[in-house]
Chains A and B, each alone.
Chain A
Amino acid sequence: MVNLNGVKPKNGRNYYIALGLEGSANKLGIGVIKQPLLDSTLTGDNSHDCHTEILANIRDTYVTPPGEGFLPRDTARHHKNWCVRLIKKALAEAKIENPSIDIDVICFTQGPGMGAPLHSVVIAARTCSLIWDVPLIGVNHCVGHIEMGREITKAVNPVVLYVSGGNTQVIAYSENRYRIFGETLDIAIGNCLDRFARTLKIPNIPFPGYNIEQMAKKAQHKDNLVLLPYTVKGMDLSMSGILAFIDGLAKDLFKKNKKNKFLFDSKTGEQLITVEDLCFALQENLFAMLVEITERAMAHVNSNQVLIVGGVGSNLRLQEMMGQMCADRANGKVHATDERFCIDNGVMIAQAGLLQYRMGDVITDLADTVVTQKFRTDEVYVSWRE
């Protein structure tokens, strides 16, 4: 039996308020959520249905010029510059006047992610915790994505596909852990897309993957797919080879290297494919690989639902392909969210952190708030599920 009501809200309120701080990559997100004290969470397995109300969800992204990625140092500086201002704005938006009384818990991303940006945010989190006398909770970033996805879509026990700039994992829940069934062996899918966008020198606003998605829609030779390496390794994936290969194609295209017979007709020298076709082929190839391992994981755990989380999860083509796979399975269903919740945000950290808090997991010693670059999804004991 899971009792989510064990720890009561502060000051006899009948609802909990959590502040979530996220800064593991180039997005700085601050969120405030409210969860009512419900009878349905007293017993049973209802952590996906907490009636979470979002009071504030603001984000500031560190955007680099076309052709450049974000470096840890510069990203950390961005987060330091904006963190306190954003917290202030989020509190105002959530109409929180006295944080010491109104906030039950402050949740921050403990890992995984880039060390320096994570550290910038935890400094603000610790200071707020001490001046307001509000407890702190460290949240695993991946678990944050999963819990937010479950709360928004109400998916009870889905296979989770977590696809972002730093992670690519197929996850399923079993015995109080989110277990990793398959993952990337080298770079993450979002990293692969971002780096290809850098090769193409397309803008990083709103984010590189979105711009690749828009270009892929304009592909003119969709029926003549550019062949790329298809690198599924059992339940795992490898993407660095695909990136190197397609980077080479793009460079030959820009240099007008007529010797490349994939790109130019060997007799007439006519250009056969465009940059848009490359974007299309890259998406189709990568997403097909994801769909394959996700389907295999579904068969393993006997599940008919998929939840897609992480920044790449906002890609509509990925959602469509996953939908086609699920439609072929009995009662199959895809759950996905939009960019507000898919892309890194503070609300998801607040959601997972508040569940931890309600189960009585709270940091008592600040030495336990040290952030870590490596923090695997299955290291977290999921006490809030049966």
Chain B
Amino acid sequence: MSKRDNNMQMEHTLTLNIPFATSKQADIACQVLRPDPILRPQDFQVKYTSKGNELVMEFQSIDDRVLRVGVSSVIDSVKTIIETFDELE
């Protein structure tokens, strides 16, 4: 399957903006999430950026089920990051 076909099929998208206390925290969250590879890149993609004190996560997926599962696992990681900020910073 060519790359162009993939992009065309990634019709299901979601963007989440998560506000943090500071822009440094948003930047750290972004750096923590970014390294992990996506297991099935042809089905699911995510882009992390930080804008001011917001973490912006843009998800793309081939169907709503894969999107839901992928997003929920990322949210679990974000919860750990926020808890670390709250308890250990």
Contact = CB atoms under 8 A, between A and B. Distances in A.
Contact of B80 (A91, A123, A367): A123
A109 interface: no
B31 A80 contact: no
B89 A131 contact: yes
With a 10 A CB-CB cut-off, give which of B29, B81, B85, B88 has the most chain A CB atoms: B88
B36 A127 contact: no
Contacts of A366: 31-32, 34-35
A77 B76 CA distance: 9
A332 interface: no
Interface in A246-264: none
With a 10 A CB-CB cut-off, give which of A84, A127, A367 has the most chain B CB atoms: A127
Contact of A99 (B31, B37, B88): B88
A83 B87 CA distance: 11
Task: Tell me what chain B mostly uses at the interface: helix, strand, loop, or mixed.
Answer: helix
A119 B87 contact: no
Contact of A369 (B35, B80, B83, B84): B35
Interface string B57-89: 000000000000000000011011101110111
Contact of B28 (A119, A130, A369): A130
A120 B83 CA distance: 13
Contacts of B79: 80
Contact of B88 (A84, A126, A370): A84
A131 B88 contact: yes
A91 B89 CA distance: 13
A369 B85 CA distance: 20
Nearest to B32: A126
A99 B84 CA distance: 13
Interface in A341-356: none
Contacts, number: 57
Contacts of B32: 123, 126-127, 130, 366
A127 B87 contact: no
A105 interface: no
A374 interface: no
A127 B34 contact: no
- Indicate the size class of the contact surface on chain B: 10 to 19
A370 B28 contact: no
A123 B88 contact: no
Contacts of B37: 370
Interface in A99-121: 99, 119-120
A30 to B, nearest CB: 12
A124 B77 CA distance: 9
A380 B22 CA distance: 39
A300 interface: no
Nearest to B39: A115
Contacts of A127: 28-29, 32, 80-81, 84-85, 88
Contacts of A370: 35-37
Contacts of B84: 84, 124, 127-128, 131
B80 A120 contact: yes
Contacts of B36: 119, 370
Interface string A109-149: 00000000001100110111011100000000000000000
A215 B81 CA distance: 44
A113 to B, nearest CB: 15
Given A87-B87, A130-B28, 16 more contacts: A80-B80, A88-B87, A99-B88, A123-B77, A123-B80, A123-B81, A126-B35, A127-B29, A127-B84, A127-B88, A128-B84, A130-B32, A131-B85, A132-B88, A366-B31, A370-B35
23 contacts: A80-B79, A84-B83, A84-B88, A85-B87, A87-B87, A88-B87, A123-B81, A124-B80, A126-B32, A126-B35, A127-B80, A127-B81, A127-B84, A128-B84, A130-B28, A130-B31, A131-B28, A131-B84, A131-B85, A131-B89, A132-B88, A370-B36, A370-B37
